[in-house]
Structure 1
C-alpha cells in the first residue's frame, strides 16, 4: 500500500488517521483492519445488500472484456482529461482498477486510491498498478478519506456522491466523470442493457452544480465488432449482470452465435471544484 494513500485514509469507526503495521491498518484508538492476501483492505462494517456489489462473474466478465482492449480509447480519453502532476488520484467506484491504472501510467509521481463496494473487484484493482491502494467502501456513506486529500477524483460508471467528492477533493482539484452516451450499445438492448435517456449531461451538471463548475466535455464514440464471447462479457459485466434471470435474457445471450456490430458511446465530463466556504 502506498504511504501517501494511507495518509489520506481514515479509520471508518472513529475517523482518526491510520498507519500500516505489518499487514494491518491501525488507528491511535486501537481499531484495526487487516489487509486481505490480495492486497486490499475492507473498511466496511456491514454486509452489502444483494444486487449492490459486482459479483465474481461480473468482475471476471469485465476483466476479460477490458483486457481485450475494446475500451482502451475511453481509458485514453480519461487519462487525457487528468491534469499532469503528482498527488493522490481517488477513483470512486474503481472496479478492477483499469481506468485508474491508465491514469497512473501517465503520471509516474501520482498515487491511486481505489474505492469500491465490491471486494471481488478490488482484488484485481489492488494488482492493477503498483501505485494503487484499494479499499472496500460504500460510496453512499461518508468516505474514510481525509478532507482536501485528493488532487484528482475519477468516477467511471459509478455512483456519484457530490458532497463527498467535494469534501475529499482539494480546492482547485479536478473531477473527471465518465458516463455512457445516449446510443451506448443500443444494438444489445434486447439482451437486457438499459437505454440512456436524453438530457443526461444536463442532469449530471445540475447534480454537481453545488460544488463543481463544468470545465470541459468530450465525446468518445467507438464502432466495435464483438464476437459472441465479447457480447456475453459486455452484457454480464455491467448492471444487467444482476438481472440475466429475467425475461429469458440469459437464454438469448447464450444463443448469440455470430459477431455483432455495435457502437459504444461515452461522455467524459471534467469539473473544477468550487472554492469552499
Structure 2
C-alpha cells in the first residue's frame, strides 16, 4: 500500500498547531500543509505530516521498539484488542448526517503506534476516515500505510491536538497517555472515547519471571482521575486470552513495551532462556467506553 499523503477529508479537520487556523494541501505538488498565515508543515515521503512545533520533549518509542511491536501484532497475538475496538466502534460510531461535509466520521487514534488497531476499526466502519497521531517517527511511518482510509501525523498528544473543536466522532486510546481536556475539546458531543488499559493480571507470568514493570494497582483510579472532569464512563469490559509464545516472541513482547527502556539485554536473554517453551502468558485488558460530559 503506497502512502501519498494525508486524506483531504482528514486535512479539513486538522488545525495549524501554531495559530489554530485551518490547513490545506499546497498546490505545488502537495508536499506540505499550509495555513492562511503561511505556517507550513512538511509531508514526509512515507506519507505522514509533521505537525510538531519546536523541539519535542521526548521522542517516543525507538525504531527497535516499533519494529518489535509490528512483528508481535502481525502475528495476531493482540488481535483480541483490535476486535474489541472494532466491535465497539461499530456500536457507538454516530450515524453521519446525510448530505453534509461530516458524512464521513473521523476516527482518531491518539498514541497510535503502528496503526494496526486503527486499521481494524476503519475496516469495521467503511464510512469513516482515520488519523493516527504519535510522537515517534518510526511509528507514524508505519501508521501512514496501515489502511487506505487512514492518515498519520507526527504530534505530541500531551499538547494541544492539531484538530478542530468537535471534529472527531471516535477517539481511540490504547496503552497510551490520556489528555482529558484535549480529548474532550476535539470529540463531537455525540462521539465516544474508547480507552484500552492493561489490568493488574496482564502478563503477570512474565512480570514475575523476568522482573518486568508491573501494572500500577491504582490504574483504574488514575484513568478515572485523568478523564472524570471531561467524560462519563458508559461501560467497561475486560478481555482475556492465553498466549502461547516462543522464547523469541517473549523477547519481542518485552522489547515493544515500557520494560524495554529498563531491561538489561544480556540478563533478560538469560532469564527468557530459563523459561519452559512454549511460554503460556495471560493477557488481560480493560476497554472503557466514555461519552463527553
- Specify the TM-score bucket, using the shorter chain as the normaliser: over 0.9
Distance 1:60-1:254 versus aligned 2 partners, 3 A rule:
farther
Distance 1:237-1:182 versus aligned 2 partners, 3 A rule:
same
Alpha-carbon separation, structure 2, partners of 1:138 and 1:16 = 18
Q: 2:282 aligns with which of 249, 263, 266?
A: 263
1:172 CA displacement? 2.1
Q: 2:31 aligns with which of 18, 23, 44?
A: 23
Aligned residue pairs, count: 273
Partner of 1:67: 74
1:228 CA displacement? 1.2
Q: 1:55 aligns with which of 53, 62, 67?
A: 62
Secondary structure, counterpart of 2:64 in structure 1: helix
- String of CA shifts for 1:80-102, please: whole Å, max 9, x gaps: 11124440011110000011000
Range with greater deviation from structure 2 (153-162 or 41-50) = 41-50
1:255 CA displacement? 6.3
Secondary structure, counterpart of 2:65 in structure 1: helix
Whether 2:212 is the aligned partner of 1:204: answer no
Partner of 1:137: 155
Contact 1:232-1:254 within 8 A present in 2 as well: no
Partner of 2:84: 77
- String of CA shifts for 1:107-141, please: whole Å, max 9, x gaps: 11101111101011011000000111111111111
Q: 2:114 aligns with which of 77, 96, 104?
A: 96
Contact 1:220-1:266 within 8 A present in 2 as well: yes
What TM-score results when the alignment is normalised by the length of structure 2? 0.88
1:227 CA displacement? 0.7
Contact 1:192-1:240 within 8 A present in 2 as well: no
- Say what the alpha-carbon RMSD is for the aligned residues: 1.8
Contact 2:251-2:269 within 8 A present in 1 as well: no
Partner of 2:257: 238
Alignment of 1:108-257 (within 5 A): 108-189=126-207, 190-245=209-264, 248-249=267-268, 251-253=270-272
Partner of 1:5: 10
Secondary structure, counterpart of 1:214 in structure 2: strand
1:203 CA displacement? 3.2
Contact 1:183-1:195 within 8 A present in 2 as well: no
1:247 CA displacement? 9.2
Alpha-carbon separation, structure 2, partners of 1:162 and 1:115 = 15
1:31 CA displacement? 1.2
- String of CA shifts for 1:201-226, please: whole Å, max 9, x gaps: 24322321111111110110011111
Alpha-carbon separation, structure 2, partners of 1:251 and 1:169 = 47
Alpha-carbon separation, structure 2, partners of 1:272 and 1:237 = 30
Instruction: Identify unmatched segments of 5+ residues in structure 1.
Output: none
Range with greater deviation from structure 2 (173-182 or 183-192) = 183-192
Whether 2:46 is the aligned partner of 1:38: answer yes
Secondary structure, counterpart of 2:248 in structure 1: helix
Alpha-carbon separation, structure 2, partners of 1:213 and 1:247 = 45
1:251 CA displacement? 4.6
Secondary structure, counterpart of 1:178 in structure 2: strand
Contact 2:169-2:191 within 8 A present in 1 as well: yes
Partner of 2:3: none
